[in-house]
Amino acid sequence: MESYKNLLLLIVLGCGVLQSCAMRAEVYDNNNETCLYADMELQFTIKYETSDKNMSTSSFLLPSNVSTTGSTCGDNTTAPLLKLDFGDGHSFTVNFTHNQTVYHVDVITFVYNTNDSLIFPNASAKGVFTVASKVTMPDLPMDDYYKCVNPEFLIINNVTMKFSNVSVQAYIKDGNVSKQAFECDADTPTTLAPNVTTHAPNVTTHAPNVTTGAPITTPVPTPIPKPETGNYLVKTGNVTCLLADMGLQLNFSTTKNQSGWKVINIVPNDTLTSGTCGIDTSSLKLQENQMMVELVFAVKNSTKFYLNGVNVSISGQFADSNNSLEYWEASIGSSYMCNKNQNFKITDNLFLTTLDLRVQPFNVTDNKFSTAEECFLDSDLSFLVPIAVGVALGFLILLVLISYIIGRKKSHTGYQSV
Ligand SMILES: *[C@@H]1O[C@H](CO)[C@@H](O)[C@H](O)[C@H]1NC(C)=O
Ligand SMILES: *[C@@H]1O[C@H](CO)[C@@H](O)[C@H](O)[C@H]1NC(C)=O
Ligand SMILES: *[C@@H]1O[C@H](CO)[C@@H](O)[C@H](O)[C@H]1NC(C)=O
Ligand SMILES: *[C@@H]1O[C@H](CO)[C@@H](O)[C@H](O)[C@H]1NC(C)=O
Ligand SMILES: *[C@@H]1O[C@H](CO)[C@@H](O)[C@H](O)[C@H]1NC(C)=O
Ligand SMILES: *[C@@H]1O[C@H](CO)[C@@H](O)[C@H](O)[C@H]1NC(C)=O
Ligand SMILES: *[C@@H]1O[C@H](CO)[C@@H](O)[C@H](O)[C@H]1NC(C)=O
Ligand SMILES: *[C@@H]1O[C@H](CO)[C@@H](O)[C@H](O)[C@H]1NC(C)=O
Ligand SMILES: *[C@@H]1O[C@H](CO)[C@@H](O)[C@H](O)[C@H]1NC(C)=O
Ligand SMILES: *[C@@H]1O[C@H](CO)[C@@H](O)[C@H](O)[C@H]1NC(C)=O
Ligand SMILES: *[C@@H]1O[C@H](CO)[C@@H](O)[C@H](O)[C@H]1NC(C)=O
Ligand SMILES: *[C@@H]1O[C@H](CO)[C@@H](O)[C@H](O)[C@H]1NC(C)=O
């Protein structure tokens, strides 16, 4: 059922069944030269409520035929803007910001229209909804394009965006698209906590006496290692009541306008675990030096659990929380699992990145995880291809059969008339 719906959406939105669904959009300046382009596959997965009070999930790809009307190259006063309108009133928008040496994506906005009954059948709340967020994308040197082949996920409330095969460049000069790529972390080979013994090197760097007209130093990106996966548990007495395996990374901004992001990995070995277990609320508290991360889980309708709250404080630097989240939903008596690297928006200033995630905050039996309910992201749309091929083949066979029967009938009648 679910897969049929997705297949239908793929076809209807104009992506060929067997061709890739990459979208390429370019924005031109007054001289008809490219100033901004984006090439990517983008899959949206949206949770919405249906008229029978159930939650439904719709998943579809950004089609290749989008309208770029409303996009601009930007000038001294306005930021470059890529606005892609598609389907029945949906749009995906990205704007950029820069200084003399670097630029980065500023805000990503996605607008969806639940009146589109093809994508949102039976939606109870019909209307136009918007999710938007500043994003934690790295600074790109001017004249570089951003490249990320591996999938990256951005999750804001009910909307999950999966980006893959991304190439994006803004501020293109003279219409010449760059060949110099800035590669994302996800593409750089697994640099899991590089085992480099960094004794502070003994090089006494006297500030060099170079005063030769402000050298343009392109910022060297320091890749952030992937967080290590920790195995955390909470006990009541001698019985384990909460289990959580995950790699956890915090992206936070200490400034009100999110001008710079800091990244911290939770190091499991240095982490003190505590928490509480209740009938309808449980919590996991991780403390590492001056840093505290608390995850609060709640129960919905005595059948489902979900991540309801995240509370982070980093002594002297940062403190923020949100207690009205609805992430990581699964049935009570099972565990929630998501191996993919996911980036969850918690607040404007705080994102949580997880990988190899598996949690069970309620009804743990025998100190071990129960059956896992896997996140949608772990299964990608590639499973649709065999189905699509099957359907196409089926059609073909049917067609041949019908023409054969018709042919036979014709020749038959033809025979008789002789
Ligand atoms: C811009 O390019 C398109 C085709 O690429 C052409 O039809 C159009 O006339 C050009 N406009 C200008 C102002 O050069
Ligand atoms: C988002 O999800 C929540 C529950 O998870 C639901 O109550 C709400 O209606 C959804 N929002 C939209 C716009 O569909
Ligand atoms: C933008 O600023 C530059 C220099 O600061 C100036 O030469 C140019 O005319 C400005 N362009 C516009 C459209 O204001
Ligand atoms: C990008 O768009 C957002 C929302 O539309 C706006 O708040 C922000 O100021 C824009 N960024 C720039 C650099 O103009
Ligand atoms: C541009 O921003 C980067 C990163 O925020 C900073 O390191 C650099 O010094 C800035 N350059 C200028 C010229 O302001
Ligand atoms: C680093 O490498 C050394 C030897 O190669 C090993 O003994 C040590 O345990 C490693 N440390 C970490 C953190 O992996
Ligand atoms: C580094 O400095 C320390 C003391 O400042 C000194 O004892 C040591 O020999 C130095 N090592 C090297 C490699 O220069
Ligand atoms: C650096 O500059 C200062 C004064 O500008 C000068 O006294 C000093 O000798 C210079 N050092 C080197 C290594 O050039
Ligand atoms: C846990 O504690 C209870 C009593 O407090 C005891 O009966 C039981 O044997 C203990 N179980 C384990 C596995 O130690
Ligand atoms: C963490 O601790 C475990 C067991 O104490 C050890 O096997 C592992 O090497 C440690 N990892 C690091 C990065 O120190
Ligand atoms: C709660 O769960 C029951 C049984 O699954 C279902 O019939 C009911 O509609 C649910 N209520 C809400 C508010 O989701
Ligand atoms: C979960 O635990 C609660 C309280 O211990 C119990 O009432 C409930 O029946 C359990 N649910 C499942 C699905 O095991």
Residues with CB under 6 A from ligand 5: 99-102, 139, 219, 260
Give counts: helices (H), strands (E), the chain.
Answer: 2, 25
| pLDDT tier at 409, thresholds 50, 70, 90 | low
Average pLDDT rounded to a whole number, residues 337-343: 89
Cβ–ligand 2 distance for 47 under 6 Å, the answer yes
- Chain Cα centroid distance, residue 351: 12
Q: Is the pLDDT of residue 285 over 60?
A: yes
Q: Is the pLDDT of residue 221 over 50?
A: no
What's residue 223's pLDDT?
60
106 Cα–ligand 5 center, Å: 15
Token pair in block for residue 180:
């110099």
Q: CA-to-CA distance for 395 and 373, rounded, in angstroms? A: 34
Percent of the chain whose pLDDT exceeds 70: 77
Q: Which of 153-167, 249-263, 324-338 has the lowest mean pLDDT?
A: 249-263
What's residue 400's pLDDT?
66
Residue, of 202 and 45, whose pLDDT is higher: 45
Residue of minimum CA distance from atom 1 in ligand 11? 301
Average pLDDT rounded to a whole number, residues 329-336: 95
Q: Is the pLDDT of residue 384 over 60?
A: no
Cβ–ligand 11 distance for 53 under 6 Å, the answer yes
Residue of minimum CA distance from atom 5 in ligand 2? 326
Task: Return all residues near 218 (Cβ < 8 A) that are at least 6 apart.
Answer: 101, 141
What's residue 386's pLDDT?
46
Cβ–ligand 9 distance for 237 under 6 Å, the answer yes
What's residue 17's pLDDT?
43
Q: Which atom of ligand 4 is nearest to the CA of 79?
A: 14
Average pLDDT rounded to a whole number, residues 24-43: 94
Cβ–ligand 4 distance for 152 under 6 Å, the answer no
What's residue 391's pLDDT?
55
Residue of minimum CA distance from atom 11 in ligand 9? 238
Residue, of 185 and 215, whose pLDDT is higher: 185
Q: Which atom of ligand 12 is nearest to the CA of 279?
A: 4
Average pLDDT rounded to a whole number, residues 226-237: 92
| DSSP per-residue string spanning 195-229 | ----PPP----PPP---SS----PPPP-PPPPPPE
Average pLDDT rounded to a whole number, residues 390-409: 64
- Under 8 Å between Cβ of 142 and 101: yes
Q: Is the pLDDT of residue 392 over 60?
A: no
Q: CA-to-CA distance for 251 and 161, rounded, in angstroms? A: 18
32 Cα–ligand 1 center, Å: 6
Task: Return all residues near 222 (Cβ < 8 A) that are at least 6 apart.
Answer: none
Residue of minimum CA distance from atom 7 in ligand 4? 107
Residue of minimum CA distance from atom 14 in ligand 4? 79
| pLDDT tier at 28, thresholds 50, 70, 90 | very high
Cβ–ligand 2 distance for 326 under 6 Å, the answer yes
Percent of the chain whose pLDDT exceeds 90: 56
What's residue 19's pLDDT?
46
What's residue 330's pLDDT?
94
Q: Is the pLDDT of residue 212 over 80?
A: no
Q: Which of 231-240, 256-265, 326-335 has the lowest mean pLDDT?
A: 256-265
| pLDDT tier at 342, thresholds 50, 70, 90 | confident
Q: Is the pLDDT of residue 141 over 60?
A: yes
Token pair in block for residue 394:
């089926």
Residue of minimum CA distance from atom 1 in ligand 2? 158
Q: CA-to-CA distance for 232 and 237, rounded, in angstroms? A: 16
Residue of minimum CA distance from atom 14 in ligand 12? 333
Q: Is the pLDDT of residue 131 over 50?
A: yes
CB-based burial label for 71 (10 Å; 0-12, 13-18, 19+): buried
What's residue 199's pLDDT?
40
Average confidence score pLDDT of the chain: 82
Cβ–ligand 3 distance for 76 under 6 Å, the answer yes
What's residue 207's pLDDT?
41
| pLDDT tier at 150, thresholds 50, 70, 90 | confident
Q: What is the pLDDT of residues 153-207, one digit of tens each?
A: 899 989 999 999 999 999 999 889 999 999 988 787 654 444 443 343 333 334 4
Average pLDDT rounded to a whole number, residues 26-36: 93
Cβ–ligand 11 distance for 301 under 6 Å, the answer yes
| pLDDT tier at 319, thresholds 50, 70, 90 | very high
Cβ–ligand 11 distance for 324 under 6 Å, the answer no
